[in-house]
Amino acid sequence: MTGSSPDTNINLDTSRMPSAVPVDDAVLPFEVAALDLRGRLTRMGPALDDILTKHAYPAPVGKLLGEAIVLTTLLGTSLKFDGRFILQTQTDGPVSFLVVDFQAPDRLRAYARYDEARLAEAKDSGGLLGKGHLAMTIDQGADMSRYQGLVALTGGSLEEAAHEYFLRSEQIPTRVRLAVGEEWSGGKHRWRAGGLLTQFLPKAPERLRQADLHPGDAPEGTELHAVEEDEAWVEGQSLVATVEDVELIDPALSGERLLYRLFHERGVRVFDLVPLQARCSCSRDAVANMLKSFSAQDRADMVKDDKVVVTCEFCSSVYQFTPHEAGVTEN
Ligand SMILES: [Zn+2]
């Protein structure tokens, strides 16, 4: 279901030429009708930089969390309600936990926990994560049901985990590309990122057949039947495969121009941009309420130098309370 205002729907081949103006911190939905493709393109600049810089993460951790943030924007912005989409990993690698919290329509916050001493042992994002699982939760509010999708992480990247999820759980042929980079300009360091999600959504369900990613644990000697994918999806995947990381991140290349570059031969239509912002939902009242939920002993244990100090893990905001305000009774 869509909201009350209809999507603007601009065919980049016939309605007008693609805009040359790059827009950061936004998701651009698109459609390639001739190939039955639907997708979203995310470009992130200042909002991503804001989230990652508040924590001063080592570069490999910032890059991995950036990938998780972009993946979250590609998935979360497809939801048409005022809920939350939360992506979390829990693994045995140097980055043992990360969480990205997207609150519709546009708020993002995220953080990662990592073991600095172990970072050097990982060669890539998959190695940083290690083994464990990725959970995606859709939370529509207190009285609504929660949906959770789980996918095993086995040393691969978040892109691979997303492919596995869509293949197994949603049965939608999907390709995801994620790229995060560091930009130096005027002596200042900035994080940038981009991502592309493309899905094959034909009207006829029999066209959805997919080549299996893994042969599975069929007994030896079992003949694996070769699955021939739909021609349109084969073409769609080969077009998506041509996207380079630099194109996804390039601050001078507009999202519309990138989509046009990829799909202009088949015709590509774009819809309204979905803006994103880095904004935490923490507040002094919320922290005070959380303190009230702790036991008296736990609150008493939090007093240091006659204060209770709570730091938000998402945005590093610091909240200070007197022991009285924190509900600690002095003897
Ligand atoms: Zn916060």
How high is the pLDDT of residue 84? 92
Q: Report how far ligand 1's centroid is from the alpha carbon of 317 (Å).
A: 6
How many C-beta neighbours within 10 Å does residue 217 have?
6
Rg of the chain over CA atoms, in angstroms? Answer: 22
Structure tokens at 289: 């309420």
| 163 alpha carbon, distance to own chain's centre | 13
Q: Report how far ligand 1's centroid is from the alpha carbon of 311 (Å).
A: 8
Q: Report how far ligand 1's centroid is from the alpha carbon of 316 (Å).
A: 6
Domain boundary assignment for the chain: 26-206+232-278, 284-321
- CA-based nearest residue to 314, from 282, 275, 277, 276: 282
Q: Which CATH architecture has domain 26-206+232-278?
A: 3-Layer(bab) Sandwich (3.55)
Q: Report how far residue 191's alpha carbon sits from residue 44's, in angstroms, rounded to the nearest whole number.
A: 8
Q: Report how far ligand 1's centroid is from the alpha carbon of 138 (Å).
A: 20
For the chain, 331 residues long, give each residue's pLDDT as a single digit of tens: 334 445 678 898 788 889 999 999 999 999 999 999 999 999 999 999 999 999 989 999 999 999 999 999 999 998 877 889 999 999 999 999 999 999 999 999 999 999 999 999 998 999 999 999 999 999 887 777 778 899 999 999 999 999 999 988 888 999 999 999 999 888 899 999 999 999 999 988 888 877 665 555 556 665 556 678 899 999 999 999 999 999 999 999 999 999 999 999 999 999 999 999 999 999 999 999 999 999 989 999 999 999 999 999 999 999 999 999 888 865 4
Q: Report how far ligand 1's centroid is from the alpha carbon of 37 (Å).
A: 37
Report the SS3 class of residue 53.
helix
Q: Report how far ligand 1's centroid is from the alpha carbon of 103 (Å).
A: 13
How high is the pLDDT of residue 4? 40
Q: Report how far ligand 1's centroid is from the alpha carbon of 281 (Å).
A: 6
How high is the pLDDT of residue 147? 85
Q: What are phi and psi of 30, to 5 degrees?
A: -145, 170
- CA-based nearest residue to 230, from 33, 36, 40, 38: 36
Q: Report how far ligand 1's centroid is from the alpha carbon of 279 (Å).
A: 8
How high is the pLDDT of residue 1? 35
- CA-based nearest residue to 45, from 242, 168, 171, 188: 188
Q: Report how far ligand 1's centroid is from the alpha carbon of 96 (Å).
A: 21
Helix axes 59-76, 158-165, angle to 10 degrees: 30
How many residues appear in the chain?
331
How many C-beta neighbours within 10 Å does residue 255 have?
26
Q: Report how far ligand 1's centroid is from the alpha carbon of 62 (Å).
A: 18
Q: Report how far ligand 1's centroid is from the alpha carbon of 79 (Å).
A: 23
Q: How far is CA 187 from CA 184, 193, 253, 311, in A?
A: 6, 19, 22, 30
How high is the pLDDT of residue 225? 60
Q: Report how far ligand 1's centroid is from the alpha carbon of 110 (Å).
A: 9
Q: What angle do CA 13, 1, 203 make, to 5 degrees?
A: 60
Q: Report how far residue 195's alpha carbon sits from residue 20's, in angstroms, rounded to the nearest whole number.
A: 18
Q: How far is CA 7 from CA 4, 42, 163, 269, 276, in A?
A: 9, 18, 28, 11, 17
> What is the identity of the amino acid at 327?
G
User: What is residue 1's DSSP assignment?
Assistant: -
Q: Report how far ligand 1's centroid is from the alpha carbon of 280 (Å).
A: 5
Q: Report how far ligand 1's centroid is from the alpha carbon of 327 (Å).
A: 21
Q: Report how far ligand 1's centroid is from the alpha carbon of 286 (Å).
A: 10
Q: Report how far ligand 1's centroid is from the alpha carbon of 283 (Å).
A: 7
Q: How far is CA 316 from CA 101, 109, 137, 279, 319, in A?
A: 15, 11, 24, 12, 10
Structure tokens at 43: 């470009």
Q: Report how far ligand 1's centroid is from the alpha carbon of 158 (Å).
A: 25
Q: Report how far residue 106's alpha carbon sits from residue 28's, in angstroms, rounded to the nearest whole number.
A: 13
The whole-model pTM stands at 0.90
Q: Report how far ligand 1's centroid is from the alpha carbon of 287 (Å).
A: 10
